[in-house]
Every structure is written in C-alpha cells, then in structure tokens.
C-alpha cells in the first residue's frame, strides 16, 4: 500500500519527465552534471576519457541540481541516471533517504581525496566557492572584507547576495565580527540567528538577490549591482573574457560537489568504476589543461603546475576561507529558509 502510494506520488510530481524517458532498459552509462563550461570540458577529459580507456559507451546529461526528479526516478524504479553530481547537503539528505548508493570504497580509493572529500554516498569531484567582487572600473577601491561591505557611506550602491540563507547568514555574522571558526556555533542559536538578520536589516534597502549562478557577473556588468558575492568559477571565467574583477580570497566561503551513484541504477557497478576513474589525478590534470578546475583529489590539487596555471583554484586558498557546514544546513536549512523568506517579505 505504501509502496503503491509512493509510486503514484512520484508519478504525480514528475509524471511528464518520466513518461518522456520511457521504460527502463539496457542503455549506456549516463552521467549527469550541472552543465556549463565545467561539463563541456569534463565531457572530453573525463567522460570520453573513461569511455576510451574502458571501451564503455558513456552519455551525459544536464540537470540544475533540483533533486525532485531523482527522487521520483528512484521511487518509481525507473532510474535513467547512473552517476550524478550533487551538492553536499543534497548528498547527505539523499544518502539518508536511500536515493544514492553507498560508495563502494573497495572500488573507489578513499585515501586519494582531500579532507572532507568523501561522504557515505559520495566521492569529491570539485571544490566550489563564493567570494565578494566588484568592477574596479566603476569602484577603484572597493570593499575587501564583509565588514566593509556593510559600510554604505564609504561604499554606496547595491549589494547582490545569493537568494538563500545559505552563505547569506554566514556573511552577515562574519561582517558582524564573528570569527570564522565560531560562525556555525553562533548561527545554531536563536540569538545568533537574530544577530544575523539584524545585521542584514542594516543594509536591507541596498540588498539585491541572485537566483542563478550566472547572475552575479551579469548584474555587475550591467551596473544593476555594484558589489556581488558570486561563484569564483564564474568570476575567473569573466576575467578570462576581459573583465578585471578582483578575487578577494579572504571573503571565500566554499564547499565540495560530489559524484554519487543513483540507487537502483542498472549500471551501479559500472558507475562506481567510472567514479574511481574520473576522480583520479591524471584525468583531472588533463581536464585542467582546458578548464580552471579545483579538484577534490589531493594529488591533483597539490600539483604545482596546476595552481600556477589556474589562479582560481580554490584548494590553494581554503586556508583563507570558511567551509560551508553541510551538517548544519541539512539540519537547519528548512527552518532557516522559512525565517529567511519571512524576513525578506517584511
């Protein structure tokens, strides 16, 4: 009865997507990422690299990180994704929910990853982070700390933050002088949450919010925002295209994206082997030839050639940054999202 209900629920929420994908059948290994320039380059260096090395046909697809489709797939038993890139909180949640297979550490070598690069159901793929940036052509000496970002007299103009409590509340506390090591301890208490929202209140009229990762660079370029906190990968990309945005590593907040194998995948075994291959330092260094990647592989990250070549490589700057606490956001995310929404609407 319960299975039937879950099944019909899954169909109701993702019916169209699943009807389109057809019945489960023997098919090529399917790897799914967030798209963008990373995936365009990873397709050649990692996916096709694996395909050639093992003579296995591999296809890839793009999703935008929304887990509903994957949940519906697993619950309806019609799994069309095999290996998938996920953000840390989604990985932990999906692992507890039985959406991902537990990593087979006899296939994937656990000791090759950086600290925090492994999880029960995931193997670290790349690091990602956000930093403060602005256009020096318009603001010659912009703020270089979050405390200064709150100084609206010295630095007038709109501030663009992510439309999510995640990163925003941390930034508010950092701006209020909380030491990075204590941010999550403070944020776990109601008084600390109030402190963060009160801090945001001080500059609320100057705040704007971005929803998609492409927006910070766009809105800084269009002049709609004067200062923004955006993905470092996008900032580096814009600089390669001629922009001169400063990379303020002292304002870095970062986390890891993981590879996971979807539960019930008919290619689960093959998927594990692929995860092992694409997290090895050799293919990652090949990828680094064409794309500024920040691998979660220790050996690749430590390669001196890579950090010289890639100014945006996060692993050289993690000492300056704040690691976004996955467990904190899995436990408190939903509550803080609601408080954040209520605060925004006030």
Partner 1 sequence: MASRANLFAAALIAPLLILVVASFIVPLLVTLYTAIGNPEVRATLPRTTAAVRAWNGEGLPPEAAYAAIAAELAQAQEGQSIGQLSRRLNFEQLGMRALLLKTARASDHLAAPYKDALIALDARWGDPELWRLVRRNTSALTSLFLLRSLDLTLTPEGTVAQASKDDAVFRALFYRTFEISFWVTVLCVVLGYPVAYTLSTLPQRWANIAMALVLIPFWTSILVRTTAWFILLQREGPVNALLQALHIVDAPVTMIFTRFAVYVAMVHVLLPFVILPLYSVMKGIDPVYMRAAASMGAPGWKRFLRIYLPMTMPGVAAGALMVFMLSVGFYVTPALVGGPDDQMVSYFIAFFTNTTINWGMAAALASLLLIMTGVLVAVARLIVPGFGSAAVRL
| Between 15 and 136, CB nearer to partner 1 | 15
In the complex, least distance from residue 69 CB atom to partner 1, rounded to whole angstroms: 8
Residues 126 and 296 sit within 8 Å (Cβ to Cβ): yes
Nearer CB in complex with partner 1: 144/337: 337
* Cβ proximity of 283 and 46 under 8 Å: yes
Identify whether the C-beta of residue 158 lies closer than 8 Å to the C-beta of residue 226.
Answer: yes
Nearer to partner 1, 102 or 282 (CB): 102
Q: Work out how close the CB of 159 gets to partner 1 at its nearest, in angstroms, rounded to a whole number.
A: 13
The residue among 153 and 211 lying less far from partner 1, judged by its C-beta, is 211
Q: Which is nearer to partner 1, 48 or 202 (CB)?
A: 202
* Closer residue to partner 1, CB minimum distance, 294 or 332: 332
φ, ψ (nearest 5 deg) of residue 272: -60, -40
Question: Cα angle at 117 between 116 and 123, to 5 degrees?
Answer: 140
Minimum separation from the CB atom of position 41 to partner 1 (A): 26
User: How, if at all, do strands 83-87 and 253-261 pair?
Assistant: antiparallel
Q: How far is the CB of 142 from partner 1 (least distance, A)?
A: 18
**Which of helix, strand or coil describes residue 120?**
coil
Residues shown for the chain: 346
Cβ distance to partner 1 smaller for residue 182 or 198:
198
What does 166-183 look like in DSSP terms, one character per residue? Answer: HHHHHHHHHHTT--GGGH
Euclidean distance between CA atoms 338 and 255, whole angstroms: 23
Shortest reach from residue 327's CB to partner 1, in Å: 9
Closest approach, Cβ 114 to partner 1, in A, equals: 24
Rounded Cα distance, 63 and 321, in Å: 28
Positions touching partner 1 (CB under 8 A) are: 2, 5, 8-9, 11-13, 15, 66-68, 71, 93-98, 102, 158, 163, 208-209, 211, 222-224, 263, 330-335, 337-339, 341-345
Output the smallest distance, CB 262 to partner 1, in A. Answer: 13
Own/partner long-range contacts of 193-201 (Cβ < 8 Å, ≥24 apart): 193/169, 193/336, 193/339, 196/169, 196/172, 197/169, 197/172, 197/339, 197/343, 199/150, 199/172, 199/173, 199/175, 200/168, 200/172, 200/343
Query: Which CB sits closer to partner 1, 247 or 331?
Result: 331
CA–CA distance, 94 with 100 (Å, rounded to integer): 6
Beta carbon nearer to partner 1, 24 or 67: 67
Helix or strand (DSSP H, E) at 185 = helix 183-187
For the record, the structure tokens of 167 come out as 């990163």
Q: What is the per-residue burial (b if ≥16 Cβ within 10 Å, else e) of 277-307?
A: bbbbbebbbebbeebbbbbbbbebbebeebb
């Amino acid at each position: 009865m319960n299975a039937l209900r879950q099944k019909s629920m899954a169909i109701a929420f993702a019916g169209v997507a699943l009807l389109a994908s057809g019945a489960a059948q023997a098919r090529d290994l399917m790897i799914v990422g967030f798209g963008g320039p990373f995936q365009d380059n990873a397709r050649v260096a990692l996916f096709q690299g694996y395909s050639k090395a093992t003579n296995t046909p591999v296809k890839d697809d793009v999703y935008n990180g929304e887990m509903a489709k994957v949940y519906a797939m697993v619950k309806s038993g019609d799994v069309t994704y095999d290996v998938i890139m996920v953000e840390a909180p989604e990985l932990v949640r999906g692992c507890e929910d039985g959406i991902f297979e537990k990593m087979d550490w006899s296939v994937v070598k656990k000791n090759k990853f950086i600290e925090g690069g492994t999880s029960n159901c995931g193997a670290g793929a790349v690091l990602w982070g956000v930093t403060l940036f602005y256009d020096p052509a318009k603001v010659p000496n912009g703020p270089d700390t979050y405390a200064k970002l709150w100084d609206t007299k010295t630095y007038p103009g709109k501030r663009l933050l992510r439309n999510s409590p995640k990163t925003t509340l941390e930034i508010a506390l950092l701006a209020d002088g909380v030491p990075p090591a204590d941010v999550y301890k403070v944020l776990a208490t109601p008084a600390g949450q109030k402190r963060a929202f009160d801090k945001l209140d001080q500059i609320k009229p100057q705040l704007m919010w971005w929803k998609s990762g492409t927006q910070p660079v766009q809105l800084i370029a269009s002049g709609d925002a004067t200062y923004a906190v955006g993905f470092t990968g996008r900032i580096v990309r814009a600089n390669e295209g001629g922009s001169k945005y400063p990379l303020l590593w002292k304002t870095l907040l970062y986390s890891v994206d993981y590879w996971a194998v979807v539960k019930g995948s008919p290619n689960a075994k093959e998927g594990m082997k692929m995860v092992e291959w694409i997290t090895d330092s050799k293919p990652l260094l090949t990828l680094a030839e064409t794309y500024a990647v920040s691998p979660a592989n220790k050996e690749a990250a430590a390669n001196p050639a890579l950090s010289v070549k890639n100014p945006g490589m996060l692993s050289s700057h993690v000492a300056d940054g704040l690691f976004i606490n996955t467990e904190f956001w899995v436990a408190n995310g939903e509550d803080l999202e609601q408080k954040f929404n209520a605060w925004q609407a006030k």
